[in-house]
Amino acid sequence: MTSSSDRSAKAPGADLIARFAAIVGADNAITDAAEQAPFLREWRDLYVGRTPLILKPATTQEVSRILALANAEGVGVVAQGGNTGLVGGQIPSESGAEIVLSLTRLKQIRGLGADGGSLTVEAGVTLAEAQAAARSAGRLFPLSLASEGSATIGGCLATNAGGVAVLSYGTARALVSGLEVVLADGSVWDGLGALKKDNTGYDLRDLFVGSEGTLGIITAATLRLYPEPVERATAFAALPGLDALLPLFQLAEAQAGASLTAFEFMSGELLGFVTRHIPGTQRPLAGEAPWYVLLEISGAAEGRATGLLEALLAHAATAGLVSDAAVAGSLTQAAALWRLRESASEAQKGEGGSIKHDVSVPVGRVPELLSKAADVVARISPGARPVPFGHFGDGNVHYNISQPPGMAREAFLAQWDEVARAVHDVVTSLGGSISAEHGIGRLKREELVRVKSAVEIDLMRRIKTALDPNGILNPGKVLSR
Ligand SMILES: Cc1cc2nc3c(=O)[nH]c(=O)nc-3n(C[C@H](O)[C@H](O)[C@H](O)COP(=O)(O)OP(=O)(O)OC[C@H]3O[C@@H](n4cnc5c(N)ncnc54)[C@H](O)[C@@H]3O)c2cc1C
């Protein structure tokens, strides 16, 4: 997963390293290989980078001084938050020429908006900390990911993260009203603020959301907060077959409307992986089904969500869409059901190598995607085990494939590009996207060029050149150099 373009740049010398280190102080400039190691390896072990220096600034001003120096000297800068990204965007190349900018010390909660509708936090605040700050003010910050204990607000915005609450609240993009960004030359754009409406020219904020550290460094954000639901009702339902997925979703939408806050699905085989490899988990239902769905309905009044959920499940059972279901009777039981779903990625590690896709299609075409992708996988890699799961209500499928039992992990992973191209071809034929929520990073930059039009790629390159003329920001990510 290395291309020759990742090896081209020249590493900064000792003098320049000392000038960078002086900006943050020696304690926050990491050159020791053992201390650097956790920053240079990503969660799936797909990429291991090299760097002469990791800098941990604590303020926007320090970030600004670092970028001004990097821009003047032509040094590549790779932003990193919680290092939970799944496309390699936060890992420097193997060249050893780029420095890493870890934003995790930008930790201030700058404040709650006067009307309780917004919260301004710095980029290194974790998603879980931002949620807790909202909760302590009696409000909800709805963005929710399995990685939220480590993923930072800066990383979530830089990747336009999705997660399990997109169905009712939208992706990270919909949950931010303002940004503070340090530009490639070190200048600071203060675009913080809680306006709902602002049509003063081009939308600069949306340019940086999802730009994966290639257009600017996000140092703070104003987040949109919502009322906390009074009640959440959660169920884990077994489905008799693939044909039941879409009608069950449509029924849930029709009966619960905007109160349907999650509709997550996973294959039966994947649930088996979870209960086999994740300590403390167990099957919530007797027997085995080919597909499972986790449903959540939220309500503004006590008892309403539970009533809606029970009526929906009764209706679905009568219609033959659900063969069995467990409704959580307590918060602990609801957490146990969510854990099954949220452990889906982790559980695959216990089954050897995985080839992973994060794709989306129009919701109505998800079943077609699942069956067509299974066909192409069986053709290219006989015996491989597709274990899809994801955010059905967003049309977002993590089309993951575990290696055939007994096959060498490396031999299976060597098929990654061929399998990915074939799965992506199915996705594009269904009008879908090859990256629903994880971004492009390094993993998909060649595929990006294959699926986007020349006009789109040219526009992206022109935006990149306008904002980062010296190409110092996350070189070789999203777009190749
Ligand atoms: C178990 C698990 C579950 C996950 N579930 C989901 C999910 O449901 N939905 C989803 O969307 N993602 C999911 N992810 C992916 C990941 O958590 C998200 O992409 C998250 O937003 C990354 O945040 P981070 O702080 O870890 O960023 P990093 O991994 O550190 O960085 C990600 C990218 O953002 C850039 N970046 C980081 N901080 C900044 C900054 N301050 N300014 C500019 N650029 C920056 C980096 O250069 C890199 O390109 C999951 C990951 C794991 C490990």
Q: Which residue has the higher pLDDT, 305 or 44?
A: 305
CB 271 within 8 A of CB 292: yes
pLDDT band per the 50, 70, 90 thresholds, residue 1: very low
| Ligand 1, CB cutoff 6 Å, lining residues | 43, 78-86, 89-90, 103, 123, 145-147, 150-152, 154-156, 158-159, 161-163, 212-213, 217-218, 345, 437-438, 441, 474, 477
The count of residues in the chain is 481
Paired with 365 in beta bridges are none
pLDDT band per the 50, 70, 90 thresholds, residue 248: very high
Residue whose token pair is 């120096």: 69
Q: Enumerate the domain spans of the chain.
A: 109-227, 231-346, 352-438
**Overall average pLDDT of the 45-70 stretch:** 97
Residue whose token pair is 């941990």: 56
pTM of the model: 0.94
Over residues 4-17, the pLDDT tens digits come to 444 446 789 999 99
CATH fold of 109-227 reads: 3.30.465
**Mutation test of ligand 1: which of 56, 62, 83, 90 has the most ligand atoms closer than 8 Å to its C-beta?**
90
Over residues 375-413, the pLDDT tens digits come to 999 999 999 999 999 999 999 999 999 999 999 999 999
Neighbours of 203 (CB within 10 A): 12
Q: Give the residue among 376, 350, 480 at the shortest CA–CA distance from 428.
A: 376
Helix (H), strand (E) at residue 449: helix 445-451
The CA-atom distances, in angstroms, between 86 and each of 62, 236, 306, 357, 388 are 28, 27, 35, 10, 16
CA–CA distance, 167 with 55 (Å, rounded to integer) = 37
Separation of 271 CA from ligand 1 center, angstroms?
25
Measured in degrees and rounded to the nearest 5, phi and psi for residue 179 equal -135, 150
Over residues 271-326, the pLDDT tens digits come to 999 999 999 999 999 999 999 999 999 987 788 899 999 999 999 999 999 999 99
Predicted local confidence at residue 302, as pLDDT: 80
Exposed/middle/buried for residue 332 (C-beta within 10 Å: 0-12, 13-18, 19+): exposed
For the record, the structure tokens of 339 come out as 């854990």
Strands 99-102 and 77-80: parallel
Q: List the beta strands (DSSP E) in 195-290.
A: 217-224, 226-227, 231-239, 260-267
Q: Give the residue among 191, 184, 201 at the shortest CA–CA distance from 69.
A: 184
What is the atom index within ligand 1 of the atom nearest the CA of 123? 41
CA–CA distance, 202 with 420 (Å, rounded to integer) = 35
Predicted local confidence at residue 300, as pLDDT: 76
**Overall average pLDDT of the 54-75 stretch:** 98
Separation of 339 CA from ligand 1 center, angstroms?
20
CA–CA distance, 221 with 154 (Å, rounded to integer) = 8
CA–CA distance, 308 with 233 (Å, rounded to integer) = 9
Separation of 86 CA from ligand 1 center, angstroms?
7
Tell me which DSSP letter residue 24 carries: H
The side-by-side arrangement of strands in the sheet containing 54-55 is 29-30, 54-55, 99-102, 77-80
CB 10 within 8 A of CB 96: no
Over residues 432-445, the pLDDT tens digits come to 999 999 999 999 99
Separation of 307 CA from ligand 1 center, angstroms?
36
Q: Which residue has the higher pLDDT, 6 or 449?
A: 449
CATH fold of 352-438 reads: Alpha-Beta Plaits (3.30.70)
CA–CA distance, 328 with 81 (Å, rounded to integer) = 34
CA–CA distance, 62 with 77 (Å, rounded to integer) = 14
Predicted local confidence at residue 122, as pLDDT: 98
**Mutation test of ligand 1: which of 47, 84, 343 has the most ligand atoms closer than 8 Å to its C-beta?**
84
**Overall average pLDDT of the 243-253 stretch:** 97
Predicted local confidence at residue 426, as pLDDT: 98
pLDDT tops 70 at residue 141: yes
Answer yes or no: same fold for 231-346 and 352-438.
yes
Cα 256 off chain centre by: 27
**Overall average pLDDT of the 135-150 stretch:** 96
End-to-end CA distance of the chain: 16
What is the atom index within ligand 1 of the atom nearest the CA of 80? 30
Predicted local confidence at residue 9, as pLDDT: 63
Residue partners of 60: CB distance under 8 A and separation at least 6? 106, 180, 182, 188, 219, 220
For the record, the structure tokens of 421 come out as 């191209």
Measured in degrees and rounded to the nearest 5, phi and psi for residue 51 equal -155, 150
**Overall average pLDDT of the 457-461 stretch:** 98
**Mutation test of ligand 1: which of 41, 159, 176 has the most ligand atoms closer than 8 Å to its C-beta?**
159
State what percent of residues in the chain have pLDDT above 90.
Answer: 94
CATH fold of 231-346 reads: Alpha-Beta Plaits (3.30.70)
CB-facing half-sphere around the CA of 43: CA atoms within 13 A? 20
pLDDT tops 60 at residue 478: yes
